[in-house]
Amino acid sequence: MTLNYMSGAKAVIKALVDNGVEVIFGYPGGAVLPLYDALFENKKIKHILVRHEQAAVHAAEGYARSTGKVGCVLVTSGPGATNAITGLTDALMDSIPIICLSGQVPTHLIGTDAFQEADTTGISRPCTKHNYLVKDANKLCEIIHKSFEIASSGRPGPVLIDLPKDIQLTNIKYVNKISKIKKYNNHSSTLDENVINKVAKLLLQAERPIIYGGGGVVNSGPQASKLLTELVNILDCPVTLTLMGLGCVPNTNKNFLGMLGMHGTYEANLAMHNCDVMLNVGARFDDRVTGRLNAFAPNSKKVHIDVDKSSINKIVSVDYGIVGDCKEVLSALVKEIKKLHNQKTIKPKTKWWSQITQWKNKDSLGFKQIGNNIKPQQAIKSLYEQTKNFDTYITTEVGQHQMWAAQYFGFSKPNHWMTSGGLGTMGYGLPSSVGVQIAHPRSLVIDISGEASFLMNMQELSTIVQYKLPIKIFILNNEWMGMVRQWQELNHGSRYSESYTASLPDFVKLAESFGITGLRVDNINNLEATIDEMINIKGPVIADIRVEKEENCFPMIPSGAAHNEMILSSDDNDKDTSNEGLALV
Amino acid sequence: MSVYQKNEFKEVETSRTLSLVVDNQPGTLARVIGLFSGRGYNIESLTVTEIDKIRNLSRISLVTRGTSMTIEQIKSQLLRIVPVHIVRDLTLEGLFIKSELALVKLVVKGANRVEALRIAETFRAKTLDVTLSSFVFELTGKPSKLDAFIDLMRSLGDTEISRTGVSAISRGNKTETKVLEQI
């Protein structure tokens, strides 16, 4: 009998183990001391002590995104929980499954403005998929089991469980996980064969088709990426991926046009603009992708596959909306197309491909490496060339370096690219790389960073050193908040208001102060050697790559413009941005 | 007009009555209301009360306004909320009954007292409280009927109004019992 009775805190840890948790990222505090006590005795869950609660969530995101598992976070009440909010919002926007356990003041003190009390469920309600305040210890186990189901089913997302301290100390009977809990995503699980048939026909008959894949394909698992690639190959049609979808189709696939959207390639955006049939797989017509909506792929039939019904017809009206998991829908679609394909031949797309080749010949990602200054594009290109034979995981912060990484680094597999897409959180990359390296201790993990973003969560260097994580921090240092500076140049008459990163630390000495290696390079002739050295050092490295300071990120769809109004360089920026465009982010 | 505005024809906004079945637990109503305020949708009327003590369920009757694309979006977004089990669009489903209750206090003296009682009788309002200088009437029915009654009362004297908001149910023999059993 005594076997099944335990403190709430121990039950929480047992429930985590039962749900497959191996690692938890957290930071202790008064309201979670019983939980930390239970962690102290347990042998199955490894706790990673971060240096800030926001970083705990980002680390869990990196862990989740690179493994496909649920990421787990433990923070204390009040400031612990409020610090985690940015991370939770990030996870919600990018559909990453996270369980966040937060401590809370004991139930009898809730609502009294007690020390380190915050209305955590209230604050986190709009930035979680669901949240709980556990007031009845007997429901504790069931709530944790349910939370895992909610976080990982349908469109994944963060779930927060607020645990008052007295609940953690109450003796309760442990309740096992029920084998199958009802699904929480409310979508019909049966696919309409009729629609699949119509969509298959539409794709087969299309003269200028394009497939546009997103993060939903990654979330659906590696099988979905394989199916997407298979579909592309059967149809021999162009495919483009969103920032979140990079890696779903290997960059080496001849049909891959690169990323689309605001900083996507010319060929990808023009193909989107001129297509006659568009198949959107697990993307959400984000404003970074569509540009001006009333000029978005104007003469096309659109098909949208998404696990979240609310994504369909939210921004762009589509002709066919299919609610379902990418893997299942793609599998049905590939099967149907193979069946139909045997009966009649696919229309040749020679005209479409020759048109695309013309756009490709514009070489929109071309740049000139002149002189000894390092072009940031070249830095990423060299990094890619020198690491492509390793099992490399890339995380990024947010800004120009992020876009250059997306443009110039090639991803051949899903789950190897961790970036903050929806929320655009500066400071995401370093903590995220912690999670990735914990999950993949033998792989090469690189945080491609900018000097400004790096400063936002650089306290995590301490975590990296503590756990001896051989993370390579590749800082494209131009001494500016580059993307802000670029927009000020293009839209605000080069009035660089507060976008210069003054008083930067000496990154080499900073590294040394943590007992790790710091490298610096400012000459293109030494770039390769520096990258080589960085890769070959066994431990963590900060590489301060001094790049061309005022380089802009191109190509670019100016805000408020359409896909076919891309600019390829600053010289193209002859039109003033419209007032409507200026208002956009 | 925003440049990111939808390229849709000037579609008319219509009023829709939604009927939701949700778990009766703290936070559910906040989630529903938060969805409307966070995403900029309208709430014209909202009522909520427990309807099933055993399963611990509440019904939310909600009147909102928007284009059909917006309404579809509202319904899909509501279904994403974990404790929301059923979202029905009564306006779209067909015939339904919409009813509301109003409590109307009227401060009135002299000849207008007779007039007030006569109007109340015409509207089949109940008189719940009488003093020498006031009445409290109770009236149920369609919101438009309540509006008309309140307008008349206002012209007779000082008033204080309390309304419940619309409660709605579909006509005919169709029920939600089977769906509810799966919750």
Q: How far is A458 from chain B (nearest CA, A)?
A: 32
Helices A326-343 & A193-205, crossing angle to 10 degrees? Answer: 60
Is A584 in Cβ contact with B73 (below 8 Å)?
no
Identify whether the C-beta of residue A75 lies closer than 8 Å to the C-beta of residue A101: yes
Query: What pLDDT is stored for residue A585 in this prediction?
Result: 77
CA A35 – CA A140 distance, rounded (Å): 13
> Which residue ranges in chain A fall short of pLDDT 70?
1-2, 179-189, 343-345, 574
Tokens of A579: 């007032």
Tokens of A561: 């413009």
Identify whether the C-beta of residue A16 lies closer than 8 Å to the C-beta of residue A44: no
Query: What pLDDT is stored for residue A346 in this prediction?
Result: 73
Tokens of B35: 């969805």
Q: How far is A98 from chain B (nearest CA, A)?
A: 16
CA B157 – CA B147 distance, rounded (Å): 16
Identify whether the C-beta of residue A23 lies closer than 8 Å to the C-beta of residue A72: yes
Amino acid identity, position B89: D
Per DSSP bridges, beta strands B14-23 and A541-546 are: unpaired
Contacts of A580 in chain B (CB under 8 A): 1-3
Contacts of B7 in chain A (CB under 8 A): 293-294, 296
Nearest CA in chain A to B5: A293
Is A121 in Cβ contact with B27 (below 8 Å)?
yes
Beta bridge pairs of residue A450 = A476
ipTM for the whole predicted complex goes beyond 0.85: yes
A261 alpha-carbon distance from chain centroid: 16
Catalytic residues of A: 53, 115-116, 165, 483
Query: What pLDDT is stored for residue B2 in this prediction?
Result: 41
List, in order, residues 6 or more apart from A40 with CB less than 8 Å away: none
List, in order, residues 6 or more apart from A180 with CB less than 8 Å away: none
Identify whether the C-beta of residue B168 lies closer than 8 Å to the C-beta of residue B96: yes
- For residue range B97-145, list pLDDT tens digits in order: 999 999 999 999 999 999 999 999 999 999 999 999 999 999 999 999 9
List, in order, residues 6 or more apart from A529 with CB less than 8 Å away: none
Going by the DSSP 8-state scheme, the letter that residue A361 receives in this structure is T
End-to-end alpha carbon distance in chain A: 60
Interface of A with B (CB under 8 A): 121-122, 125-126, 129-131, 133, 150, 155, 184-186, 287, 292-294, 296, 308-310, 312-315, 317, 560, 578, 580-581, 583-584
CB neighbour class for B95 (10 Å; exposed up to 12, middle 13-18, buried from 19): exposed
CA distance to A91, A196, A201, A337, A349, per residue, from A341 (Å):
40, 14, 9, 6, 15
B39 close contact with A: CB closer than 8 A: no
Residue by residue, DSSP assigns A213-264 as E-HHHHHT-HHHHHHHHHHHHHHT--EEE-GGGTTSS-TT-TTEEEE-STTS
Out of B4, B26, B38, whose CB is closest to A287?
B4
Q: Name the H helices within chain B.
A: 28-39, 68-80, 90-93, 112-122, 143-154, 177-181
A98 alpha-carbon distance from chain centroid: 13
Instruction: Classify each residue of A213-243 as buried b or exposed e, where b means 16 or more C-beta atoms within 10 Å of its C-beta.
Output: bbbbbbbbeeebbbbbbebbeebebbbbbbb
Tokens of B158: 């000082």
Is A294 in Cβ contact with B7 (below 8 Å)?
yes
CA A139 – CA A147 distance, rounded (Å): 12
- Among residues B138, B143, B141, B139, the alpha carbon closest in space to that of B63 is found at B143
Nearest CA in chain B to A316: B6
List, in order, residues 6 or more apart from B121 with CB less than 8 Å away: none
Contacts of B73 in chain A (CB under 8 A): 310, 313-314
Q: Name the H helices within A388-523.
A: 400-408, 429-439, 451-456, 461-466, 482-491, 507-513
Contacts of B27 in chain A (CB under 8 A): 121, 125, 131, 133
pTM attached to this predicted model: 0.95
CA angle centred on A195, ends A192 and A199, rounded to 5°: 140
CA B178 – CA B21 distance, rounded (Å): 13
Nearest CA in chain B to A310: B76
Is B27 in Cβ contact with A125 (below 8 Å)?
yes
Beta bridge pairs of residue A6 = A172
- Other residues' Cβ atoms within 10 Å of the Cβ of residue B67: 16
Query: What pLDDT is stored for residue A344 in this prediction?
Result: 64
- For residue range A401-456, list pLDDT tens digits in order: 999 999 999 999 999 999 999 999 999 999 999 999 999 999 999 999 999 999 99
Q: How far is A294 from chain B (nearest CA, A)?
A: 5
CA A73 – CA B128 distance, rounded (Å): 57
Q: Is the peptide bond before A28 cis (omega within 30 degrees of 0)?
A: no
Per DSSP bridges, beta strands B14-23 and B84-89 are: antiparallel
Residue B3 has pLDDT above 50, yes or no: no
At residue B71, the 3 state secondary structure works out as: helix
Is B7 in Cβ contact with A312 (below 8 Å)?
no
Residue B69 has pLDDT above 50, yes or no: yes
Amino acid identity, position A265: T
- Among residues A9, A159, A141, the alpha carbon closest in space to that of A84 is found at A159
Tokens of B75: 């319904």
Is B3 in Cβ contact with A312 (below 8 Å)?
no
E strand or H helix that includes residue A580? helix A579-583
List, in order, residues 6 or more apart from A206 with CB less than 8 Å away: A237, A275, A276, A277, A347
CA B46 – CA B57 distance, rounded (Å): 16
B76 close contact with A: CB closer than 8 A: yes
- Other residues' Cβ atoms within 10 Å of the Cβ of residue A206: 22
Contacts of B5 in chain A (CB under 8 A): 293-294
What own/partner pairs with CB < 8 Å and gap ≥ 24 does A495-502 have? A501/A451, A501/A452, A501/A455
